[in-house]
Amino acid sequence: MQRTVCTVAALVGVVLAVRIARLAIVTTPDHLLVRNLFRSYKVPWAQISSIDRPRLHGATRKTGIVINRTDGSSLSATAYVRGPHNRESFAESVTNDLQRIAADAVAQ
């Protein structure tokens, strides 16, 4: 029994380590891919209304870079979560790059 519990705990740890290592924001010509810890999102550029800097304490703990959609929903990219000791502008360059890429993709 103890061996089974240890094996399951080790497997969960490995899965979490892999998911943490794969946290990312990936841009393609057609969409933005956001890989969070438990779920990934593929959002076409035309469905993105704005991209905002991380909030210290976001709504429902959404503290990563915020991708606002044209339908009014939003998602948070946990690859850039703002911690209590980060400067407010710690992800500003990434946010600016994503805003530029989104504007270029929609313009094409």
Residues 51, 98 contacting (CB under 8 angstroms)? yes
Q: Where are the domains of the chain?
A: 23-107
Amino acid sitting at position 1: M
Segment 72-80 shows an average pLDDT of: 88
pLDDT digits (tens, 9 = 90+) for 78-99: 887 766 666 777 788 888 899 9
More confident residue, 105 or 82: 105
Confidence at residue 53, expressed as pLDDT on a 0 to 100 scale? 83
Confidence at residue 8, expressed as pLDDT on a 0 to 100 scale? 93
Pick from 49, 62, 34, 26: nearest CA to 106: 49
- Please check whether the domain covering 23-107 is classified as CATH 3.10.20: no
pLDDT digits (tens, 9 = 90+) for 2-61: 889 999 999 999 998 998 888 899 999 999 999 998 899 999 999 999 998 887 665 556
Confidence at residue 19, expressed as pLDDT on a 0 to 100 scale? 86
E strand or H helix at 68: strand 65-69
